[in-house]
Every structure is written in C-alpha cells, then in structure tokens.
Amino acid sequence: MNKYSKKPEKGHPTVKTLVDFVNFFDADPREFIEECLFIKTKDQQTVPLKFNTAQYLIYKRIKQLKAQNKPIRMIILKARQEGVSTLCEGLIFERTARFENSNSLIVAHEPESTDAIFSMSKLFYDLLPFDVKPMRRYDNKKQMVFENPDEKGRTNNPGLRSRMVISTADKTKIGRGLTIHNFHGSEVAFWKNAKALMLSVLQSIPSLPNTAVFLESTANGFGGDGEYFYQMVQDSLAGKNEFELIFLPWHLMPEYSQPFANDADKKKFAEALDEYEKELRVKENLTYEQLKWRRWATQNLCGGDTDKFKQEYPATIEESFVASSKAVIPKQYIEAQSKFVRQPIRKLDDILIYEEPNLKHFYSLGADPSEGIGQDDSAITVIDKMTGREVGSYIGQIQPDLFAKKIRQSAELFNNALAVIEINNHGLAVINAIKTEYSNIYQRTVFDKVTNTKRKELGWKTSQTTKPLMVDDFIAGLRDDDIGLSSQSTVSQMMTFVHTSESNKYGMGAETGQKDDALISAMLAWQGLKELPSEMPMARKGRTIKLY
C-alpha cells in the first residue's frame, strides 16, 4: 500500500538514490534529517539541516538511549541560539512523517514562536524529496495531518494516519483525550502555567521505548514563570525524575568567537583578563577568541549586564539561574562551588559516597531532620575536617526513627563522625532514636536560669541567635575557599536561600516553593568542625590553618 505522494510536484527536488536509503534511515534518523530536511538560516539561505555541535551532543545521547530500548525523556538547559528547537522539530517531524499512527505535540511559549515552528515544519514537508514525502490531508490550524487527501480513497489507502499539532502554552488542558508519542516543549521556563500544562501532557504520553519528550529552555530564574523548569532541572540532577538533563554552555558553539586583528592585540587582551575570565578560561579550556566574544556579547547583546549574559549564555548550570536580590549567599561564592561538584564514587544503600573514609581524618556530619513522609526532605552532609570537602550525603523523605539509622550508618562509615543533629521539630525524636546506639553526638551548652548553672544537651537548636551564626560561619568558609561541596543539590539550594520575613525561618530560609534541607545539613556539618581538634592541615589548599 502506497502511503506516499502519487507523483512529484512540479519543480520539486528528487533524490534518485533515496529509496535505497529508506532502511538506513530507519537505523539512523540523522541521515534522514540531514539529507531530507531543509531550514532557513540567519542569512536568509535555505540549506540542509546539518547538525551543529550542540545538536550532535543531544542526538548522540538519544541514540544511546534508543540502543538501550528506553523512552526518551530529556530536559535541555541551553544558551541562546544553539539550534535546540530546530533539532527537536527535525526529530519529531521524522518520527511523524515516516511512521504510521504517530501523534506529536509541540508547545511554544508565545504565538510568534508557535507560528515560526509551524512554518519550519511546513518547510520540512514542502522540500521533502518525493520518494519519502507522505500524503498530506491538510496543514491548517497549526496541524499537519499525514493522511490520504482523497476521501473516497482513504478507506483502502489511508496514508500514515499520523499528525503533528503545534500549540501555544496558554492553555492547561492541551493533550487531554490524545495519546501522544512525541512531545516538544519549547522555552518551558517562560510558560505562564507550566506545571498545570505539563500535568495534562504527561498523562497522555505512554512510558514506551518509542516515545520522546523534550523540554528545552534558556533559564528564567528560579521563581515565577521559571519555577517549574528550574525545579525540573534540580529534580533531574538529584535523580528524582526520569528526565535526563543535558546542559549546553555557550562556548560549545564555534561561532561564539571573535578573531584578533594581530598578535599584539591578542597579547594585550590576555594581559587584561579579570579573575573570573582567568578562572573560566582554565576551567572550560577557552580560547582568548571565545573570551573576546563573551565581552562583546555582554556589552552588545546584554546591555553590559554580566548577570544577564550568564542567564542567556551560561557557562555553568549555576550561572543559568541568576540569584535574586534577596539571596543570602553572594552569587560569586555559589558559582565558585561549581568546580567542586562531582559524582559519587559509590552508594551505601541510598547514601552517596564521594570519597572513601581516611582512617587518619576527622569527620563532621550535619543532619537536618524533616517532619517525616510527605514533608520536606531529611538531609545528611559529611565534611572532612582535613580537606573541607564534602565526602558523603543523603537526601530523602523518611520517618525520624529510620533517619536516625541513616545518621548512624553514615557516621560509623566515616570514622564515627561527630553527628550534629538539629533538634527543632522532629529532631528530638531522631535524637531519642539514636542516642542509645551512637554516642558521638554534638552537645550544646544550655544555661539554667533557675540554678544559675550550665549544662550540656544533645543536638543543635536553631534559633534567632544561632541561625545567623551558623549562616555567617558557612559564608566565611565559602569566601575563604575552605569548603568544597560535592552535592549539586546543596549548591543549587544556595541560590534559593533568601532573606525572608517569616518568623519560623529566623530571617533566612528557602524561597517559597524551594528547599534548604541539604544546605542546612552542610551548615550543621561545618559547625561541627568547631568541636573537632582545632588545628588540622587543610590538604586541599596545601597549607595549615586554624579554622576556629
């Protein structure tokens, strides 16, 4: 049964050997996309859709997931103008215009973008070689339906019975009543109702290997419209959802570079680099030409606003989500921590281990209990006294008695670490559950006004007095480069730790809708270092200092 057009349209390009490649296209859709799909370029040319660097990195990972027979679930945090939307459209068009009964939905953040994506898809179809061009019933109302346009002949020769629908993110019930096989959300961080819309869409997508979901965007902060996308990124980093995060920094793109007139100009530029540029050049292996483009783009594309450049053209995930004016921790300290973030070397149950314990080292463990299942997460951070590095962590929703077991398990692994457990809320239940099984627990000094004496009690009590002390000590450690955080979750929570008027947060806490459990546990661990031997060599910095 012929599901394709009956004859070439007048003046339409054909490729004589394409029929021989159909099976090859099935094995590697890239060949179809690069050979058969055409796009309009910035300089008004019509050219084949050849993958650029960013597009290839995404596609390479897609191939790996397909080889593992897994559904494609990707969240793509990008810099501007990297061709991500174009790639997603090419991938979805290929799946819809080549295979039967395939339903695809594309949602853009504004009507102008919806029109642009629909025009791109129409161009894909219009310039398809005849041999692979499916019958098309209609392409109006932002829909493209690949069926036999002849109503009488449709029964015996229906065509692909596939369709693409392109819509704008101004509704909350998109996708209801449909089974969607391919979904592309464009600039999700700028949707007005992203959470409600995606709740509707995700119910319509079966969890099958032949399905794909692409959520892509530049960043738009961590609150307001950008909150959903920010949280999806953080949950992906923490392994809390099935989406795989792909981050595409600006310097992937070869065109983001500017040449020098001569060697003298290049030398003069190199000598004038600021500290951030020097560090960025080493960390990301950048050329002076790339840094020259960065300066030009900051001034000419972002109005001289370096924070705006970092949001639109980030070099790291942390730069993407520019801290708000309410942020407690200076953003330069947050950005500096990105160099320490790393993957765990192994897991002990669900405790992440970044380094094996050293029998000659002392360790401090901070534990921030939640109120149990359905509440905020409970969190553990373990810090090495000698290096200042985070060596272990845990985050999860867990009952107090079970959390006590996690604390003991983590502390015993790291040489019976000092356990600094916050006693507020359900912390007392945690203390009571662990104190008979584990003895190295932080003790605070309490003054008894009745007897006019001091006594020791187990646990750290956060109050209007102690919280600023804990926060200030932690910020000082960040400032002096004495702390090296391994957990991406902790670094991310620093961005949303803000000044607040809520009395129960003692003037500081997680912004509405965000969390601070991992960060608080790190602050508690840092406080615990005061109780350990006062002078230890800071091996990471190659010097010996007195921390307190």
In the predicted model, what is the mean pLDDT of residues 319-336? 80
Angstrom distance (rounded) from CA 144 to CA 163: 6
Distance of alpha carbon 303 from its chain centroid, rounded?
A: 26
Residues 159, 59 share a domain: yes
In the predicted model, what is the mean pLDDT of residues 282-286? 92
| Contact assessment for residue 442 and residue 418, using Cβ atoms and an 8 Å cutoff | yes
Q: Is residue 221 part of a domain?
A: yes
pLDDT at 324: 56
Q: Into how many domains does the chain fold?
A: 3
| Contact assessment for residue 402 and residue 540, using Cβ atoms and an 8 Å cutoff | no
Q: Is residue 445 part of a domain?
A: yes
Q: Residue 159: pLDDT band by 50, 70, 90 thresholds?
A: confident
Q: Is residue 487 part of a domain?
A: yes
**3-class secondary structure per residue, 271-336:** HCCCHHHHHHHHHHCCCHHHHHHHHHHHHHCCCCCHHHHHHHCCCCHHHHCCCCCCECCCHHHHHH
Q: Is residue 4 part of a domain?
A: no
Which one-letter DSSP state was computed for residue 548? Answer: -
Tokens for 414, please give them: 């790291």
pLDDT at 151: 77
pLDDT at 1: 43
Q: Is residue 312 part of a domain?
A: yes
pTM of the model: 0.77
pLDDT, tens digit (0-9, with 9 covering 90-100), for 63-86: 999 999 999 999 999 999 999 999
| Contact assessment for residue 23 and residue 154, using Cβ atoms and an 8 Å cutoff | no
Residue that terminates a domain, selected from 298, 321, 344: 321
In the predicted model, what is the mean pLDDT of residues 156-160? 83
Tokens for 478, please give them: 């960040």
**3-class secondary structure per residue, 167-218:** EECCCCCCCCCCCCCEEEEECHHHCCCHHHHHHHHHCCCCCCCCCEEEEEEC
Considering only residues 543 and 63, tell me which one the structure prediction assigns the higher pLDDT. Answer: 63
Residue that terminates a domain, selected from 290, 321, 352: 321
Tokens for 450, please give them: 């009745």
Percent of the chain with pLDDT over 70: 89
User: 236 pLDDT exceeds 80?
Assistant: yes
Residues 269, 240 share a domain: no
Pairing of β 103-108 and β 162-168: parallel
Q: Is residue 395 part of a domain?
A: yes
User: 343 pLDDT exceeds 90?
Assistant: yes
pLDDT, tens digit (0-9, with 9 covering 90-100), for 470-504: 999 999 999 999 999 999 999 999 988 988 866 55
Q: Residue 513: pLDDT band by 50, 70, 90 thresholds?
A: confident
Residues 216, 275 share a domain: no
Residues 399, 290 share a domain: no
Residues 272, 189 share a domain: no
List the domain range (segments joined by +) for residue 296: 263-321
Residues 6+ apart with CB under 8 A from 8: 14, 130
Give whole-number Cα distances, 4 to 144, 246, 429, in Å: 15, 36, 69
Residues 136, 88 share a domain: yes
Report DSSP letters for 103-152, one per residue.
Answer: EEEEEESSHHHHHHHHHHHHHHHHTS-GGG-B--SB--TTEEEES-S-TT
Q: Is residue 297 part of a domain?
A: yes
Q: Is residue 134 part of a domain?
A: yes
| Contact assessment for residue 462 and residue 435, using Cβ atoms and an 8 Å cutoff | no
Residues 212, 64 share a domain: yes
Angstrom distance (rounded) from CA 496 to CA 417: 29
